[in-house]
Chain A
Amino acid sequence: MMSALWVSKTGLAAQDTALRAISNNLANVSTVGYKRDRAVFRDLLYQIQEQPGGLSSQDTTLPSGLQLGTGVEIGATQKVFTKGDLQATSQPLDLAIDGRGFFQVAMPDGSLTYTRDGQFQLSEEGEIVTAEGYRLEPAVNIPADAQSITIGADGTVTVMLPGDNGVTQVGDIQLADFINPAGLQAIGGNLFRETPASGAPLTGTPGNNGLGGLLQGNLENSNVNVVEEMVNMVSTQRAYEMNSRVVSTADQMLQFVTQNL
Chain B
Amino acid sequence: MDNVLYLSMSAAREIIQAQAVHANNLANAGTGGFKADFAQARAMQVYGDGLPGRVYAATESPATDMSSGSLDRTGRNLDVAIDGDGWLAVQRPDGSEAYTRYGSLEVDAAGVLRTSRGDLVLGDGGPIALPPFETVLIGGDGTVTVQPQGQDTSNLVQIDQLKLVRPDPGALVKGPDGLFVRADGLPEPPAAGVSVVSGTVENSNVNVVNEMTEILALAREFEIQLRLMQSAEQNDEAAAELVRLG
Give the chain A neighbours of B26 by CB distance below 8 A. 8, 11, 239, 242-243, 246
> Which segment of A69-77, A109-117, A129-137, A157-165 sits at the interface?
A69-77
Determine whether A147 belongs to the interface, using a CB cutoff of 8 Å to chain B.
no
Interface pair A180/B107, CB less than 8 Å apart? yes
- B17 in contact with A11 (CB, 8 Å): no
Return the CB mask of B15-40 against A: 1 if under 8 Å, else 0: 01101111111111111101001000
Interface check A49, CB cutoff 8 A: yes
**Given contact pairs A40-B32, A63-B62, A72-B31, A253 touches B219 in the complex (Cβ within 8 A):** yes
Is A46 within 8 A of B175, CB to CB?
Answer: yes
Cα distance, A250 to B22, chains bound together (Å): 12
Q: Interface readout for B206-246 with A: 1 if CB under 8 Å, 0 if not?
A: 00100110011001001100110110010000000000000
A260: chain B residues within 8 A (beta carbon): 226-227, 230
Which residues of chain A are within 8 angstroms of B32 by Cβ–Cβ distance?
Answer: 40-41
Q: Are B29 and A239 in contact (CB under 8 A)?
A: yes
Check A42–B226 contact: CB distance below 8 A: no
Q: How far is the CB of B230 from chain A (nearest CB, A)?
A: 6
Beta-carbon contacts of B48-89 to A below 8 Å, as 1s and 0s? 000000000011111100000000001110000000000000
Main secondary structure of the interface of B (DSSP, over half): mixed
Contact B149 A210 (CB under 8 A): yes
Task: Check: B173 CB closer than 8 A to any chain A CB.
Answer: yes
**A53 located at the interface, meaning its Cβ lies under 8 Å from any Cβ of chain B in the complex:** yes
**A4 near B20: Cβ-Cβ < 8 Å:** yes
With CB as the reference atom, state the residue of chain A lying closest to B27.
Answer: A11
Proximity bits, B134-149, A CB within 8 Å = 1, else 0: 1000000000000111
A67 at the interface (CB under 8 A from B): yes
Chain A CB within 8 A of B92 CB:
no
Shortest distance in angstroms between A62's beta carbon and chain B's nearest beta carbon?
8
CA distance in complex: A40, B102 (Å): 11
Q: Is A245 an interface residue (CB 8 A)?
A: yes
CB nearest neighbor in B for A45: B176
For the complex, is B95 an interface residue (Cβ under 8 Å from A)? no
A187-201 contact mask (Cβ, 8 Å, vs B): 1 or 0: 000000000111110
* Chain A 153-194 per-residue mask, 1 if CB under 8 angstroms from chain B, else 0: 000000000000000000000000101101100000000000
Number of interface residues of B (CB under 8 A): 65
Across-interface contacts of A198 in B (CB, < 8 A): 109
Question: Using an 8 Å CB-CB cutoff, how does the interface string of A215-254 with B read, 1 for contact, 0 for none?
Answer: 0000000000000000000011011001101100110110
Which positions 167-191 of chain B face chain A at CB distance < 8 Å?
173-178, 183
* Chain B hits for A52, CB < 8 A: 173, 183
Nearest residue (CB) in A for B148 is A210
Chain B stretch 138-170: residues in CB contact (< 8 A) with chain A: 147-151
Residue numbers in B under 8 Å from A76 (CB-CB): 116
| In the complex with contacts A45-B176, A49-B17, A242-B212, A261-B24 CB distance below 8 A | no
Contact flag A261-B134 (CB < 8 Å), given A4-B19, A45-B177: no
Asked if B17 and A66 make an inter-chain contact with CB atoms under 8 angstroms apart, the answer reads yes
- Cross-chain contact A202 with B132 (CB below 8 angstroms): yes
Closest approach, in angstroms, between the C-beta of A241 and any C-beta of chain B?
10
A23 in the interface, Cβ–Cβ < 8 Å?
no
**List of A residues within 8 angstroms of B37 by Cβ:** 67, 69
Residues on B with beta carbons closer than 8 Å to the beta carbon of A50 = 58, 60
Q: Is A15 an interface residue (CB 8 A)?
A: yes
Given contacts A64-B62, A180-B108, A210-B147, 12 further A-B contacts (CB under 8 A): A8-B23, A41-B31, A44-B178, A68-B24, A69-B178, A82-B76, A243-B26, A243-B27, A250-B19, A250-B23, A253-B219, A256-B223
Q: Which residues of B contact A (CB under 8 A)?
A: 16-17, 19-32, 34, 37, 58-63, 74-76, 104, 106-111, 116-117, 132-134, 147-151, 173-178, 183, 204, 208, 211-212, 215-216, 219, 222-223, 226-227, 229-230, 233
Lowest 9 CB-CB distances: which A-B pairs, in order? A11-B27, A69-B24, A210-B149, A199-B109, A4-B23, A41-B31, A210-B134, A209-B150, A43-B178
Interface residues of A (CB under 8 A from B): 2-5, 7-8, 10-11, 14-15, 18, 40-50, 52-53, 62-72, 75-76, 78, 80, 82, 99-100, 177, 179-180, 182-183, 196-200, 202, 208-210, 235-236, 238-239, 242-243, 245-246, 249-250, 252-253, 256-257, 260-261
Chosen A-B contacts, 14 in total, with CB atoms closer than 8 Å, are A4-B23, A11-B29, A42-B117, A43-B34, A62-B60, A67-B176, A71-B24, A80-B76, A100-B134, A183-B109, A239-B30, A242-B208, A246-B22, A249-B215
